[in-house]
Copies of this chain bind each other. A is one copy, B any other.
Amino acid sequence: MRILVLGGDGYLGWPTALHLSHKGHEVGVVDSFARRQYDHEMGVDSLVPISHLQRRVSVWEDISGLRVVPYVGDLTDADFVERTLREFAPDTIVHFAEQRSAPYSMIDRKHAVYTQVNNVVGTLNLLYAIAEIDPSIHLVKLGTMGEYGTPNIDIEEGFIEITHRGRTDVLPYPKQPGSFYHLSKVHDSHNIMFACRIWGLRSTDLNQGIVYGQETEETVLHPELATRFDYDGVFGTVLNRFCVQAVVGHPLTVYGSGGQTRGMLNIRDTLACVELAALNPPEAGEFRVFNQFTESFSIRQLAELVCQTFPGRVEVLTAPNPRVEKEEHYYRAAHTKLLDLGLVPHLLDQRTISSLLAVADRHRDRVDPSAIEATVDWRRTASTMPTAAGGVRVKSEPTEA
């Protein structure tokens, strides 16, 4: 199968590209390096050093004999999208190429607008290019479990049967996203569903939980095949961040009561899920949604797991919650469709956390403790961003004419 991985230089895009290549697919990767640019903007770095895409591709070819074709460009450039699709002629497109940090989208107006325009326009350009060039291409789009928010009923996979005043219909599951980033994914989902309906496109929306882990079967083969590992307050996600905090002797920062419960999955399962979706495409015109996570944990539980695993003293600190969200809530979300396709989950245990702690420990000299703090406050319209240099304000627009 010919698979084009958009955002193929990122945390998940790169190991996905390697995995699919390893499994025998013809793989192309597309990236604009926007993710690396955010590091420059924030003054932070991946904990694990990462090589340039061109170098990664060349190391992979040396090691595996397999060629991954890189395309450098941006999805908001429609001509580039069209040219790349015509040249690579994919059967499947895996779309990771969006700004994916909730805090980044909440820094200020410019970052909110950037996130929504970047994500929505990139995906619109892609939908048009697929419809024009080859409507049979299967679009595997990364969404997020955060699109659903925390309703007081069970979360289903994309659609819900509603009986109301004696009539019944199956309708899109109501969405209550919690940041301008999460909103951009909701906008995408609505746009993709519509494109499937009017143009007969086929798409799988993977509503992914929070991913943890850094090593995969392929990335461990050579240090230059490593994928990034983010622990900073803007791009770092919870379990990865806790492991870094434990290793450097920083308290684990739990925001609010820690009762926030989220679906989670191992990075290796992300790769398996994407391949399962690709190998089992929907019918022409079908828009389907898989909830892509394997277990649910509260933030409190994750902190406890790290404390139990780390061979030393770990402090847990309750910090004010920068987000506007329910801290104690009902959470039960369906996630059977990928299991039905054959997913065998890597569940979270002390061994997994130990290996994450080992990654963090190996690179502990690269940790910038000042980058850990959550600096973006949902309640403010403009947050002051500290960087390694200290106190640089990202927002520069005039506030008065």
Interface assignment of A153: CB less than 8 Å from any CB of chain B: yes
Please tell me how many copies of the chain the complex holds: 2
Segment from A5-13, A194-202, A242-250 that makes contact with B: A194-202
With known contacts A162-B162, A164-B153, A199-B381, A399–B132 Cβ distance under 8 A: yes
Interface assignment of A389: CB less than 8 Å from any CB of chain B: no
Interface assignment of A79: CB less than 8 Å from any CB of chain B: yes
Contact of A186 among B125, B131, B165, B190 (CB under 8 A): B190
How far is B392's CA from A119's CA once the two chains are assembled, in angstroms?
Answer: 32
Residue of B nearest to A132 (CB): B381
**Scoring A residues 172 to 188 as 1 if CB is less than 8 Å from chain B, else 0, what string do you get?**
11111111100100110
Cβ < 8 Å to B, chain A residues 311-350:
324, 330
Which residues on the B side are within 8 Å of A164 (C-beta)? 153-154, 156, 160, 162
Segment from A24-32, A58-66, A108-116, A254-262 that makes contact with B: A108-116
Interface assignment of A120: CB less than 8 Å from any CB of chain B: yes
Interface assignment of A78: CB less than 8 Å from any CB of chain B: yes
The minimal Cβ–Cβ distance linking A75 to chain B, given in whole angstroms, is 12
Which residues on the B side are within 8 Å of A113 (C-beta)? 121, 124-125
The answer to whether A165 touches B153, judged by C-beta atoms less than 8 angstroms apart, is: yes
The minimal Cβ–Cβ distance linking A80 to chain B, given in whole angstroms, is 9
The answer to whether B112 touches A124, judged by C-beta atoms less than 8 angstroms apart, is: yes
How far is B114's CA from A233's CA once the two chains are assembled, in angstroms?
Answer: 34
Which residues on the B side are within 8 Å of A390 (C-beta)? none
The minimal Cβ–Cβ distance linking A14 to chain B, given in whole angstroms, is 26
Contact of A172 among B176, B199, B397 (CB under 8 A): B176
The answer to whether B187 touches A120, judged by C-beta atoms less than 8 angstroms apart, is: yes
The minimal Cβ–Cβ distance linking A55 to chain B, given in whole angstroms, is 27
The minimal Cβ–Cβ distance linking A77 to chain B, given in whole angstroms, is 11
The minimal Cβ–Cβ distance linking A33 to chain B, given in whole angstroms, is 21
Which residues on the B side are within 8 Å of A153 (C-beta)? 162-165, 167-169, 171
Interface assignment of A151: CB less than 8 Å from any CB of chain B: yes
Can you give 15 contacting A-B residue pairs, CB < 8 Å? Answer: A79-B397, A82-B400, A83-B401, A109-B124, A113-B125, A117-B121, A131-B381, A152-B167, A153-B162, A153-B165, A156-B164, A179-B194, A186-B187, A198-B379, A199-B379
Interface, chain A (partner B; CB < 8 A): 78-79, 82-83, 86, 108-109, 112-113, 116-117, 120-121, 124-125, 128, 131-132, 151-154, 156, 160, 162-165, 167-169, 171-180, 183, 186-187, 190-191, 193-194, 197-199, 324, 330, 378-379, 381-382, 397-401
In the complex, the 3 A-B pairs of residues with the closest C-beta atoms, listed nearest first: A171-B174, A152-B169, A83-B401
